[in-house]
């Protein structure tokens, strides 16, 4: 092979770099994400229900937030929702995070497991936590 | 490859229909957005605006009161201008002199009181806003009630709106604003670096039936209302007092009016 | 054909490595800017566009200047431009690439750039600018590559290239007309609110671009066997001369309107740029250098006796390029923001990080240019067609 030595050496280095994410995690056990609902507000609720059913929220909460965002900011439609006697605003900060105030143990659990960093927290925050 | 006339016409026709349909689709999709983006026109049922009477501001504290009211509830960062160079400053409402507010309306013989009097400046929520015209993503858009709104989620930070605004009403987050927020208001988000922001006419307060914060804090010096409603408070003042707007010759149709009149008029 | 860029002399690789190094430095500086915000630049609330946008504005003109070679050659069969057309098209590719990179590094939220496509806003000139720049890039890559490839295969280029070439002519005019419209339609900025803005862009483009092309052609002739031909260079020299005359004339027209009318809004920007306002005069030396270079270049370009000597021509082209770079790069964009809407002055000067990022983008552009030129030159050297017969 012409230049065989360089080619084989290059291939080995390439495979080493590309396969790094796989073999560096070998043998590590990663726990499944376990989001916690242990917050003062949720503990007080009689019926533990969200503005959408749990299964839908799990897969589509980002769509819900996106729809709310356009409805509130772009169309000015801030309609509140009545659920189990509580009024919920169409708002991440003044809605979702009022109940789910344990951001790191709730949102952060699945986001960390999936390795995603949504940019919501660049602007929004949990009232009790402030800007940390 | 040769092609006969019939085949050519068939292909051209299908292409034309296909292009036409996709263009129509795009236009229809944009029509909803476009109606918000274009100017509402003074015949709109609602055109929110402000009338500011600077003679009703008695002290520096009055001015600071309205600025603090706005900036505190909206988490506007306080970026101290370095060495008098207002480089990274973010402000939604602020003061400046008559000469700086109305640079096209100065003469050498103004009353000294006028020259020393601060004027509050903010976004004029123009009826024909150039900032909305130039925004490439419709991140800034005109609502049907006349407010020129800002969608910080969509803003790409190109700052074309800042170039387009003839009034210098807009600020950009050159740095992360969070370390510079004096006292966090937990009911409102912050912004992130890289987006433009400006006065929103307190849309979140309007939705709760409240007046904009600066209006409430002004103790009657700033009046808020619907310019299209002849019975509104703003129209009542405009009917009797002489008012001017900033740079009217540019055709932007600002919705913020400044009462002129000197010291003897009765408020 | 890209493999031709992988074999080269030591000089070629040195150039590539230097440019790559600068590009790398620019990338590191950009990462710093991305993490810390655009506050690391010299831009401010008053001067909200600076070096990046002004470089983009200048380079859009250089990109469009390929049309000055394409029109004579393809539309009027001016055979003397036969060898230099590919250099013009590849210069357009490199310039448009730099334009788009400058826009990218200027954005506050670059990760959201697709919003321009997801939420098309035909009312915004920036939207149209994005469309025409991308279109022009694709057009020139396809045209340049296809014609060069056909030349390599020693066959005529495929028929579908011709309509694309014809399309590229109005498209080139469109890219800097649209860019001029970014400025010329803004109601509050009197320095920019002039109908002649697009015409000025055209004139300065057709002077700066071909001037750079002459310089590049002469560098290529010195270091490779590729010679575009004496007559091609002379013809382009005439184009530069006429375009620079038009450009200087248009600027003097602006000066007349501003100062004869006496309207403060029109005069102030010129006063700031050429005399300073209230002690703020950072740009004054630069603007006068630009003016003096422009005059000297005209003295060297207009008389044929001086222009016909290539050593004079190349010096005049350097003066033209630098003068117009200052005019667009500092004068036009920054002058539009000063004085601000309140009549006060906030000055602007690029910071170190901003300068490194700018140099990095220029390096990427010149790296692209080097690689593309290497391919074109190598193809022709191997075919033995590297020398023009004119």
pLDDT tens digits for B89-146?
A: 999 999 999 999 999 998 889 888 888 999 999 999 999 999 999 999 999 999 999 9
What pLDDT score was predicted for residue B95?
Answer: 94
- Contact B184/A131, CB-based, under 8 Å? yes
- Chain B nearest-CA residue for A129: B186
Say if residue B35's pLDDT is above 50.
no
Proportion of chain A above pLDDT 70, given as a percent: 100
Domains: count for chain B: 1
On whether residue B23 sits in a domain, the answer given is no
Provide CB contacts within 8 A for B165, sequence distance 6+: B130, B131, C188, C341
- Contact B174/C106, CB-based, under 8 Å? no
Say if residue B265's pLDDT is above 60.
no
On whether residue B237 sits in a domain, the answer given is no
Say if residue B19's pLDDT is above 80.
no
Which residues of chain A lie closer than 8 angstroms to B29, CB-CB? none
Tokens 């025409």 sit at which residue? Answer: C132
- Contact C112/B96, CB-based, under 8 Å? no
Which residues of chain B lie closer than 8 angstroms to C48, CB-CB? 159, 162-163, 172
- Contact B155/C116, CB-based, under 8 Å? no
| DSSP states of C13-28 | HHHHHHHHHHHHHHHH
pTM across the whole model: 0.90
Say if residue A66's pLDDT is above 50.
yes
What pLDDT score was predicted for residue C78?
Answer: 93
Q: How confident is the model over B111-122, as pLDDT tens digits? A: 888 889 999 999
Is the minimum CB–CB distance between C115 and chain B shorter than 8 Å? yes
Is the minimum CB–CB distance between B213 and chain C shorter than 8 Å? no
Enumerate the domain spans of chain C.
2-383
Is the minimum CB–CB distance between B45 and chain C shorter than 8 Å? no
**Most C CBs within 10 Å, among B158, B164, B248, to test the C interface:** B158
Alpha helices per DSSP H over B160-206: 160-164, 203-206
Smallest CA–CA distance, residue A8 to chain B, in Å, is 45
Smallest CA–CA distance, residue A55 to chain B, in Å, is 27
On whether residue B13 sits in a domain, the answer given is no
Q: How far apart are the C-alpha atoms of C87 and C213, rounded to whole Å?
A: 8
Give the CATH number for residue B93.
Answer: 3.30.70.20
Smallest CA–CA distance, residue C108 to chain B, in Å, is 4
Smallest CA–CA distance, residue A114 to chain B, in Å, is 23
Chains B–C, number of C-beta pairs less than 8 Å apart? 157
- Contact B149/A78, CB-based, under 8 Å? no
**Could you tell me the CA-to-CA distances from B18 to A17, B263, C117 in Å, in that order?**
47, 68, 20
- Chain C nearest-CA residue for B164: C186
- C: neighbours with 3+ CB pairs under 8 Å? B
3-state SS assignment for residue B200: coil
Alpha carbon B68 to its chain's center:
18
Out of A73, A76, A131, closest to residue B153 by CB: A73
For B143, the domain range is 38-46+59-213
**Average pLDDT over every residue of B44-68:** 93
- Contact C44/B101, CB-based, under 8 Å? no
What is the CATH class of C2-383?
Answer: mainly alpha
Which residues of chain C lie closer than 8 angstroms to B96, CB-CB? 342
Smallest CA–CA distance, residue B31 to chain C, in Å, is 11
> Please, which pLDDT band fits residue B264 given cuts at 50, 70 and 90?
low
> Please, which pLDDT band fits residue B263 given cuts at 50, 70 and 90?
low
Tokens 């009462």 sit at which residue? Answer: B259
On whether residue B15 sits in a domain, the answer given is no
Q: How far apart are the C-alpha atoms of C218 and C314, rounded to whole Å?
A: 8
- Contact B100/C44, CB-based, under 8 Å? no
- B: neighbours with 3+ CB pairs under 8 Å? A, C
- Contact B190/A73, CB-based, under 8 Å? no
As a whole number, the mean pLDDT across chain B is 87
Smallest CA–CA distance, residue B267 to chain C, in Å, is 28
> Please, which pLDDT band fits residue B23 given cuts at 50, 70 and 90?
low
Q: How far apart are the C-alpha atoms of C101 and C171, rounded to whole Å?
A: 20
How many Cβ atoms sit within 10 Å of the Cβ of residue A115?
6
On whether residue B78 sits in a domain, the answer given is yes
Q: How far apart are the C-alpha atoms of B217 and B149, rounded to whole Å?
A: 22
Q: How far apart are the C-alpha atoms of B233 and B16, rounded to whole Å?
A: 55
Q: How confident is the model over C311-334, as pLDDT tens digits? A: 999 999 999 999 999 999 899 999
Out of C107, C119, C336, closest to residue B154 by CB: C119
As a whole number, the mean pLDDT across chain A is 90
- Contact A123/B181, CB-based, under 8 Å? no
- Contact C112/B172, CB-based, under 8 Å? no
| Among B56, B39, B69, B46, CA closest to B258 | B56
Q: Count helices and strands (H / E) in chain B.
A: 9, 10
Q: How confident is the model over A12-39, as pLDDT tens digits? A: 999 999 999 899 888 888 888 889 999 9
What pLDDT score was predicted for residue B43?
Answer: 56
- Chain B nearest-CA residue for C103: B158
- Contact C123/B133, CB-based, under 8 Å? yes
On whether residue B10 sits in a domain, the answer given is no
Which residues of chain B lie closer than 8 angstroms to A73, CB-CB? 149, 151, 153
Q: Tell me whether residue C387 is exposed, middle or buried, using C-beta atoms within 10 angstroms of its C-beta: 0 to 12, 13 to 18, 19 or more.
A: middle
What pLDDT score was predicted for residue B81?
Answer: 59
Identify the segments of chain C with pLDDT beneath 50.
none
**Average pLDDT over every residue of B247-252:** 95
Out of A76, A94, A127, closest to residue B143 by CB: A76
What pLDDT score was predicted for residue B26?
Answer: 54
| Among C63, C282, C93, CA closest to C172 | C63
| DSSP states of chain A | -TTHHHHHHHHHHHHHHHTHHHHTTTT---PPP------HHHHH-SS---SS-HHHHHHHHHHHHHHHHIIIIIT-----EEETTEEE-S-IIIIIHHH---TTTTHHHHHHHHT---THHHH---TTTTT-
Residue B83 CA neighbour count, 13 Å, CB half? 2
Alpha helices per DSSP H over B149-201: 160-164
> Which residues, numbered 256 to 315 in chain C, qualify as contacts with chain B under a Cβ-Cβ cut-off of 8 Å?
265
Out of B151, B184, B189, closest to residue A74 by CB: B151
> Please, which pLDDT band fits residue A6 given cuts at 50, 70 and 90?
very high
Smallest CA–CA distance, residue C79 to chain B, in Å, is 29
What pLDDT score was predicted for residue C151?
Answer: 93
Q: How far apart are the C-alpha atoms of B112 and B114, rounded to whole Å?
A: 5
Is the minimum CB–CB distance between B107 and chain C shorter than 8 Å? no
- Contact B203/A76, CB-based, under 8 Å? yes
- Chain A nearest-CA residue for B140: A74
**Average pLDDT over every residue of B206-224:** 95
Q: Are B170 and B153 in contact (CB under 8 A)?
A: no
């Amino acid at each position: 092979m012409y230049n065989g030595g360089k080619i084989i050496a290059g291939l080995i280095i390439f495979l080493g770099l590309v396969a790094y994410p796989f073999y560096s995690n070998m043998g590590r056990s990663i726990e499944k994400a376990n989001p916690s609902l242990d917050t003062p507000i949720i503990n007080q609720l009689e019926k533990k229900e969200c503005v959408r059913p749990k299964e839908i929220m799990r897969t589509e909460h980002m769509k819900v937030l996106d729809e709310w965002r356009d409805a509130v900011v772009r169309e000015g439609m801030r309609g509140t929702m009545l659920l189990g006697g509580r009024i919920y605003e169409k708002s991440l900060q003044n809605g979702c995070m009022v109940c789910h105030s344990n951001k790191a143990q709730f949102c952060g659990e699945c986001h960390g497991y999936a390795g995603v960093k949504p940019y919501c927290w660049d602007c929004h925050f949990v009232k009790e936590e402030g800007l940390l | 490859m040769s092609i006969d006339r019939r085949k050519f016409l068939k292909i051209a026709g299908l292409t034309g229909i296909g292009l036409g349909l996709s263009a129509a689709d795009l236009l229809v999709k944009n029509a909803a957005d476009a109606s918000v983006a274009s100017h509402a026109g003074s015949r709109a049922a609602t055109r929110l605006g402000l009338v500011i009477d600077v003679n009703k501001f008695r002290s520096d504290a009055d001015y600071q009161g309205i600025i603090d009211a706005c900036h505190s509830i909206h988490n506007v960062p306080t970026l101290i201008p370095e060495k008098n160079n207002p480089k990274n400053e973010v402000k939604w409402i602020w003061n400046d002199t008559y000469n700086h507010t109305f640079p096209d309306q100065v003469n050498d013989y103004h009353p000294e009181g006028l020259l020393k009097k601060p004027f509050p400046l903010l976004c004029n929520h123009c009826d024909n806003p150039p900032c909305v015209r130039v925004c490439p993503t419709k991140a800034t858009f005109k609502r049907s009630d006349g407010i020129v709104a800002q969608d910080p989620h969509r803003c790409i930070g190109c700052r074309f709106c800042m170039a387009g605004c003839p009034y210098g009403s807009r600020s950009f987050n050159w740095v992360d604003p969070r370390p510079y927020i004096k006292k966090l208001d937990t009911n409102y988000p912050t912004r992130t670096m890289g987006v433009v922001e400006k006065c929103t006419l307190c849309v979140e307060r309007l939705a709760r039936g409240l007046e904009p914060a600066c209006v409430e804090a002004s103790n009657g010096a700033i009046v808020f209302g619907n310019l299209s409603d002849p019975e509104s408070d703003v129209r009542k003042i405009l009917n009797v007092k002489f008012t001017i707007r900033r740079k009217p010759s540019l055709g932007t149709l600002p919705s913020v009016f400044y009462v002129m009149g000197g010291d003897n008029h009765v408020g | 054909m890209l493999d031709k860029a992988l074999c080269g002399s030591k000089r070629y690789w040195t150039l590539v490595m230097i440019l790559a190094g600068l590009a790398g430095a620019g990338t590191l500086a950009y990462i710093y800017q991305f993490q810390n915000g655009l506050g690391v630049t010299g831009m401010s609330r008053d001067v909200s566009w600076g070096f990046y946008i002004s470089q983009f504005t200048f380079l859009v003109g250089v990109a469009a200047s390929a049309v000055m070679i394409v029109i004579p050659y393809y539309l009027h069969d001016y055979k003397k431009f036969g060898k230099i057309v590919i250099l013009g098209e590849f210069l357009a590719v490199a310039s448009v690439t730099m334009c788009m990179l400058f826009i990218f590094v200027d954005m506050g939220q670059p990760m959201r750039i697709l919003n321009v496509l997801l939420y098309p806003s035909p009312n915004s000139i920036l939207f149209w600018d994005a469309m025409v720049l991308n279109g022009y890039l694709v057009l020139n890559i396809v045209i340049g590559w296809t014609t060069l490839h056909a030349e390599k295969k020693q066959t005529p280029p495929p028929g579908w290239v011709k309509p694309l070439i014809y399309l590229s002519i109005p498209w080139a005019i469109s890219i800097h007309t649209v860019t001029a419209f970014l400025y010329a339609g803004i109601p509050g900025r009197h320095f920019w609110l002039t109908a002649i803005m697009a015409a000025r862009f055209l004139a300065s483009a057709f002077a700066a671009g071909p001037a750079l092309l002459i310089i590049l052609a002469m560098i290529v002739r010195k270091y490779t066997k590729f010679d575009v031909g004496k007559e091609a260079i002379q013809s382009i020299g005439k184009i530069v001369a006429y375009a620079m005359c038009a450009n200087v004339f248009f600027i003097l027209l602006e000066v007349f309107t501003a100062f004869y009318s006496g309207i403060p809004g029109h005069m102030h920007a010129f006063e700031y740029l050429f005399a300073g306002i209230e002690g703020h005069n950072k740009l004054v030396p630069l603007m006068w250098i630009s003016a003096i270079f422009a005059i000297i270049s005209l003295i060297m370009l207009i008389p044929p006796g001086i222009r016909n000597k290539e050593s004079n021509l190349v010096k005049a082209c350097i003066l033209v390029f630098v003068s117009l770079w200052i005019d667009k790069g500092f004068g036009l964009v920054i002058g539009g923001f000063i004085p601000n809407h309140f009549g006060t002055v906030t000055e602007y000067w690029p910071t170190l990080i901003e300068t490194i990022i700018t140099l990095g983008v220029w390096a990427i552009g010149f790296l692209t240019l080097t690689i593309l030129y290497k391919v074109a030159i190598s193809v022709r050297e191997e075919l033995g067609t590297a020398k023009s017969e004119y």
